[in-house]
Structures are given as C-alpha cells and as structure tokens.
Homo-oligomer: A and B are copies of this chain.
Amino acid sequence: MSFSARRKRAAVAARAAGVDALLVTHLPDVRWLCGFTGSNAALVVRGGGAARLFTDGRYTAQAKAEAAGVRVVIAAKAAAVAACEWMAGEGKTRSGVRRCGFDASQTTVAGLEAMRGAVPAKVRRGMFVSVGALIAKLREVKDSDEIQKMRAAAALGCGLFEGIFDHILPGGTEAEVALALEYKARVAGAEAMSFETIVASGVRSSLPHGRATRAKLPRRGFVTLDFGVVLDGYCSDMTRTVHLGRASAEERRVYEAVLEAQEAGVAAVREGVVTSDVDEAARGVLRRAGLDKWFTHSTGHGVGLEIHEGPRLARKQPGARKAAAETLKAGMVVTIEPGVYMPGKFGVRIEDTVLVTKAGCEILTPSTKAWIEL
C-alpha cells in the first residue's frame, strides 16, 4: 500500500472520530504515513489524506527525499507547535482545521499545553480532541510491502540463531554471546537490534527479562536467547532456549511442556479468533502440566515498526464484555511466546513471530524448536 493510500485511510478514521485533521507526532506513525525517518517530526493529515510534515533544519534534504508527495515545512520551533500555528493560521495560509485529533498516549501533558498555546484563544476551545491511537490501530494489520519486510527481518534473525551455537560455550559470558550475535546481525545488514538482546543462562534463565550480563555460561543448564533485528525499519523477534550439557528429567519435562504450549498457541492463531483464546490455548497446556503459575506474562504481542505493538495476546480480563473482545485479523503479525520461570532454578521460553492468515498463520521464524543439547 502506498503512503498516500495509508494517509487516505487515516483521514477516513479521523472523519469517523469527528475531527478535520490528525496531528501525528509518534515517530513510527509518521514513518508509516509518509516514509520520513528523522528524529523530529509532526505530521498533519487532513481530509483525503493531504499532509504536511513539520521538522527542523537538520532534515531539510532527508525529509524532501523520504516524504515524497508531502509538503515539508522546516521550522525553527518545536515541530508540533509549528504544525498547530499553521493549522490555526488565517488568510492565505488558512488550513480550515477546526478540530484536530491527537493520540493522548503519545502526547505529553506539556506537549498538549504547548499545542494549545500555539493557537489563538478564540479557536482553542474544542480544537484538540483525544481520538485514541488511531494510527497504531491501522498499523496492526500489515500490508504486502510490510509483510515482505517482516519476512526478511525474521529470516535474518533465524540465520543468526542457527549460526550462534559455536559461541555458546561453558565459561564464556552471556555478553560475549550477545555481542557475537549482534555483530553478525550488523554484518548481515541489520540496522540495529530491535531490543536489548537477552542471553539468560543457568539460574538466570529464570528471569523473564534477563539481558546479557558478564555472567559465565554454566557447564550444565539452559541458555535462553531472545533477540530481534531491525531491517528496513521493521522488527523481528524470536526466542529459543538451548541446553548446555546433560539436562535433568525436570528440565526436559518443562521444555517439552513449554514447546507444547507454544505450538498450541500457534495452532490457535487464525483470522477471527479472540486474542485471549490464543493466550488460553498456550496457558491451558501449562495448566494441565501444573506449570501455569510460573507463566507470569502474556502469550504475545504485535510486532512491526515497533517491537511492541497491538494486539496484545493476554488473558481475558475478568468482567470484560464479550463485545469488547479483540479478534485477530489477517495481516496482523504477532508473537507466540509462553515461558516457565522457576525462581532460583531455571526457565524456558520459546517464541515465534507469526503472520495471521484467513486459514491459520505463517510462521515467520521457522528455526527448529526441537530440543538442542550443546
């Protein structure tokens, strides 16, 4: 889908929300709507998808090159303030915007104050309307260009996993494993890692969020690798847990249970399925194995230009109305990542990123999930 087609959809969503324009300041939203990748931007999208991008002098050349078809305005003041001044302008520069939607989850209290301060008192009342995360919602369903980029990012990630075994050695550090992996990622063309690489070994595998430290890998124990790359702006995300040395029967049992839970989660993915049902498919397997109390997070999340996007695949909230249930749509890209974390002992997590389809899903991270003993 072209940027202008995306902006047309944004304009339709804005009209449905009762506003004449959207002021978009969250950078991934800006990038999705016009292609601009600079670090300072405010994009105004009006009816029909007409747009104006406000940024600063560092980005004059880049903004014109990236945001083709969008009027670029270089401003000496804060981009959002310049955008609001323009919207409220009169005479020749009249924008006609009387009600402007903004995303309250991406706008600071001080930012909103500055926006209000940028328009004359007589139009301020009713000018700024909190319309929710309209663009983030549109971004949940990926178009074919995005899917191609996400396949490429995920494939790069799989290659990294398959090439890292030689670096997983007792006595080496977690940080060394992470560094080797990140170096290979960059050589392979990744722009960056999509989050701080997790290498959690031995008892540290029981930390759901164990970023790589100077801890040494044990002779015997689990090593959990959770990592992602950014390629062409899009994030990959995958987790595999391997074992150094011979495993105990309990370690083996937990691994198999997590794998079964993960596969049950993947099997539950299909257009139209309620997100909490995917969570329950995975969580139920662990419950039947008596391990669910150690599964302390939700089953997954959307991925795209950001590492954490909607939808969330979490437990049904007690008392939530049936009507409010969120369902999967074809084109969403989500993670399925159950884990079991036994404090002071060990932990296992297995994660794929999958593309939701009408009939089920396509696994974008098809690296083996079979037991690996190094």
Contact of A109 among B109, B187, B196, B207 (CB under 8 A): B109
Partner-binding segment picked from A55-63, A161-169, A238-246, A251-259: A55-63
Q: Closest Cβ of chain B: how far from A276's Cβ, in Å?
A: 16
Q: Is there a chain B Cβ closer than 8 Å to A148's Cβ?
A: no
List, in ascending order, chain B residues with CB within 8 A of A2's CB. none
With A and B bound together, what is the CA distance between A109 and B186 in angstroms?
Answer: 37
Contacts of A111 in B (CB 8 A): 105
Contact between A59 and B209, CB atoms less than 8 A apart: yes
Indicate if the CB atoms of A61 and B104 lie closer than 8 Å.
no
Q: What is the chain B residue whose CB lies nearest that of A182?
A: B186
Are B104 and A105 neighbours in the complex by a CB distance under 8 Å? no
Asked if A297 CB lies within 8 Å of chain B CBs, one says yes
| A247 on the B face (CB < 8 A) | no
Once A179-B187, A183-B183 are accepted as A-B contacts, the answer to whether A296 and B110 lie under 8 Å apart by CB is no
Can you list 14 residue pairs at the A/B interface with Cβ under 8 Å? A38-B209, A39-B209, A58-B207, A59-B209, A102-B109, A105-B108, A105-B111, A107-B108, A108-B108, A109-B112, A109-B130, A179-B187, A183-B183, A192-B196
Inter-chain pairs besides A109-B130, A179-B183, A179-B187, 12 sampled, C-beta below 8 Å: A57-B296, A58-B296, A58-B297, A61-B343, A62-B207, A104-B110, A104-B113, A105-B109, A105-B111, A106-B108, A110-B130, A182-B186
